[in-house]
Amino acid sequence: MTPQRFPARIALKTVNEPGTLAQVAQVIAEHDGNIDNIRMTRQSPDFTSLVIDLEVYDLKHLTSIIAQLRAKDVVAQAERVNA
C-alpha cells in the first residue's frame, strides 16, 4: 500500500541564476516529494520568490525537504507557508 501524501506549501527566496529551479526541483524529487504547482515572482534582478505546492508524507518529511533546500547555495530563504 502506498503511504498517503498530504499537501504542503513552501516559500523560497532564490538567487536568480541559470539552473536554480532545476536544483530546487531536484532536491524535492530526490527526497520523494511531489510538486503540484509552482508560482515564481521576480523580486529584483538578483532574487526570485517561489511558492511551491507539494505533497509530503508528514511534517518530518516536509521539514527534511526544507532543510535540504536551505543547504543549497541558490536558496536564500525557505519556509513553510500555511496555505
Distance in angstroms (rounded) separating the CA atoms of residues 16 and 12: 12
Residue 1 pLDDT: 67
Among residues of the chain, what percentage have pLDDT more than 90?
A: 93
* Predicted confidence (pLDDT) per residue in 9-27, tens digit: 999 999 999 999 999 999 9
Q: Measured on CA atoms in the order 10, 65, 43, 40, is the torsion positive or negative?
A: negative
Q: Please, are residues 81 and 61 in contact by the beta-carbon 8 Å criterion?
A: no
pTM above 0.85, yes or no: yes
What stretches in the chain show pLDDT beneath 50? none
